[in-house]
Amino acid sequence: MSFGDANVIDGKFYVTAYNVNSGAKDWVSRVLIYSLPDLELMDEIDIGEGIAESVTKSRGLFWVTYHDRMAVGVFNERFNLLRYEDLANLSAEYGGYQGAYWEGDRFFAQTHGPNELGLSPSKGMDEYRFDGERFRYVCTRAPMSYGAGQGVAVYRGVVLQNDRPANEVLVGRWRE
């Protein structure tokens, strides 16, 4: 299994994992839950098919973005799939959204970026508004760097993005 993105949720460390890089014919995904600060594995949950890239939580539900779909999976507290919500503006060349997070009713989804120098840069961060029933595209924010697009997290209001080609973590804030 390969790791996707990671987020701290409810005082635990949540990581997505998938088997696509192993050459498996049927793609499956899991959510791994670790305790903090010792990073002991607490649970490993099979969440079904696909390439799950990121998990976040809002409104008492878990929201999973995928590399291979233009939607976000909505799961209950036990990670039972409830539905998929369409994310119609998906603008990435390299697949689906790599990372995501919530700020109130705003959902931010990081478009997947390049894995090496010389390829097209990430398109940036897509912002959606969620009215409780559906997502509405708002805008795409420019990436923090050429390769930003390998995951995103927010810690104490600061956005952290991974830039794979540069092998660095970017620290910043979005401008309104």
On whether the CB atoms of residues 137 and 126 are closer than 8 A, the answer is yes
| pLDDT over 70 (residue 3) | yes
Range of the domain at 121: 2-172
- The answer to whether 5 touches 20, Cβ cutoff 8 Å, is no
pTM, 2 dp: 0.88
Q: What is the pLDDT of residues 76-113, one digit of tens each?
A: 999 999 999 988 766 556 567 888 999 999 999 988 77
pLDDT the model gives residue 174: 56
Our count of domains for the chain comes to 1
Per residue in 145-159, pLDDT (tens digit) is 877 877 888 877 888
Looking at residue 105, which CATH number applies to its domain? 2.120.10.30
- The predicted model gives 33-46 an average pLDDT of 96
* Amino acid symbol at 64: V
pLDDT of 56 higher than 60: yes
SS3 2: strand
From the centroid of its chain, how far is CA 126?
12
